[in-house]
Structure formats: C-alpha cells, structure tokens
Chains A and B, each alone.
Chain A
Amino acid sequence: SYVLTQPPSVSVAPGKTARITCGGNNIGSKSVHWYQQKPGQAPVLVMYYDGDRPSGIPERFSGSNSGNTATLTISRVEAGDEADYYCQVWDSSSDHVVFGGGTKLTVL
C-alpha cells in the first residue's frame, strides 16, 4: 500500500520559514492536502490540491509537490502556527485515503 513519510518534528524560530515535507513514491502525480491540528481540536485544512489555500488561511502558507516530495511552507512563522501537520492523498490504485504520520511544528 502507498506510504507517506513525514519528519516527526520540525523546529523554527519566529519570523523564519518552516518547511514540512511529505515523501511518497511519485507523489508528484497525486494531489496532496495538508491539515493543521492543534491540541484538543479537530484538524483544519490549510492547503489542498498541492498549492491551493482555503479562504481564511494566511498567505504565509504555501504548498508545492513534485517528484517524490510534497512540501508545506510556512513563511514568517508565528507562535500560533505551532501544531501538528498532516499530509494526505487519495490512493486511486487502491481506492483509499492515506495519511502521513504527522509533523509536530515547534516555534522556538
């Protein structure tokens, strides 16, 4: 089955840029979605179809997807961005959803 690999943790200083990766075999051929989850809350969609941003999500959030890696980039990181981030795809070869293991973003 299809596997998505995320780093368990990423740390960044306020005002800097955070890059959270999601690796998968030829993931560039799939559509990747990203969710932000804060403690005790439901996930929130922050990026969809690789690089589309839902309304209400700051322009500081951007996404890209090519080859074997998709990336969620957060510019000018703020304390409020500290959360777990999950990537997700639909695996059409097996007709089911696949999640990455999640990345905990820590703002130093």
Chain B
Amino acid sequence: QLQLQESGPGLVKPSETLSLACTVSDGSISSSNFYWDWIRQPPGKGLEWIGSIYSSGSTYYNPSLKSRVTISVDTSKNQFSLKLTSVTAADTAVYYCARHLMSQLHSPWDYWGQGTLVTVSS
C-alpha cells in the first residue's frame, strides 16, 4: 500500500523559506506516471492547492502562489519537495502531500499524507 509522509520544520520565521519533503513508500516516484501534489489547509479553513509535479519533473502551480513556490523531485530519495519563500503568518497551515489517482491532472487524489502543521512566527 502506497504511503506518503511529510517532514520538515514545524516553525518557520516570517520572511524565511518553508521547506518540506514528502517521502513515498511502497512505490517509486521515478518509475510511476503520476502527478504528485502539495495541498495546504490553514487552521479552521478550507483546502488550497499549491502545485503539482509529474514524475518527469514538469510542474504546475497555483497562480496565487506561483512566484514563491518551487516543487521538485529527488528520485534518489524517492521524495518530492516543496519550497515556499518569503513566508508570512498567512502561510501557517497544515501541509499535505498527495498523489493523483491517474496520470492526468484532472484526476482526483487517492493517496494523502497525514499532514504536517507549519507555523510561521518569530
């Protein structure tokens, strides 16, 4: 059974860069034909899509975050990562990684990580 696990600092200072990794178990990112995504949820609020990366490395980002977001794949570690620059308190959220059900961006996510809370505060 595929498993996804987010990891990274739980506290980031304002104006700094948030960095998270999602480790994929029981499945290879490089040999798969899937999109891998980051989604976040501010406390008490709804879901917000951050972006997607294909196993080949092509990316799609939420236009509202595009200038600050980079998603990349590290096949040697079977991980994909998120970097969000110049963070503010508005970036405080639970961050989820997830995999699409099929090899199309319009497909839903069927596997999710448990989520990790990142707080932006000095």
Q: Footprint of B on A, CB under 8 Å?
A: 1, 31, 33, 35, 37, 42-45, 48-49, 54, 86, 88-90, 92, 94-102
**In the complex, what's the smallest C-beta–C-beta distance from B8 to chain A, in angstroms?**
16
Interface residues of B, dominant DSSP: loop
Q: Across the interface, which residues of B come within 8 angstroms of A97, CB to CB?
A: 37, 49, 52, 62, 105
**In the complex, what's the smallest C-beta–C-beta distance from A22 to chain B, in angstroms?**
12
The 3 A-B residue pairs whose C-beta atoms are closest, nearest first, are A97-B49, A90-B106, A33-B108
Q: CA of A102 to CA of B96 in the docked complex: distance in angstroms?
A: 17
Other A-B contacts than A45-B101, A99-B47, A100-B46, 12 sampled, CB-CB below 8 A, are A35-B47, A42-B114, A49-B108, A90-B106, A94-B63, A95-B60, A96-B49, A97-B37, A97-B49, A98-B49, A102-B46, A102-B47
A45 touches B49 (CB 8 A): no
Q: Which residue from chain B places its CB closest to the CB of A52 in the assembled complex?
A: B108
Q: CA of A41 to CA of B37 in the docked complex: distance in angstroms?
A: 17
A43 touches B60 (CB 8 A): no
Q: Which residue from chain A places its CB closest to the CB of B63 in the assembled complex?
A: A96
B110 touches A45 (CB 8 A): yes
Q: Across the interface, which residues of A come within 8 angstroms of B107, CB to CB?
A: 48
Check if B113 is an interface residue, CB within 8 A of chain A.
yes
Q: CA of A20 to CA of B70 in the docked complex: distance in angstroms?
A: 35
**In the complex, what's the smallest C-beta–C-beta distance from A5 to chain B, in angstroms?**
12
Q: Given A42-B112, A42-B115, A90-B106, verify A101-B46 contact (CB < 8 Å).
A: yes
B63 touches A99 (CB 8 A): no
Q: Which of B96, B106, B115 has the most CB of A within 10 A?
A: B106
**In the complex, what's the smallest C-beta–C-beta distance from B117 to chain A, in angstroms?**
11
Q: Across the interface, which residues of B come within 8 angstroms of A1, CB to CB?
A: 63
10 pairs from A and B in contact (CB 8 Å cutoff): A42-B112, A43-B47, A54-B110, A86-B47, A88-B108, A92-B106, A95-B60, A97-B49, A97-B62, A102-B47
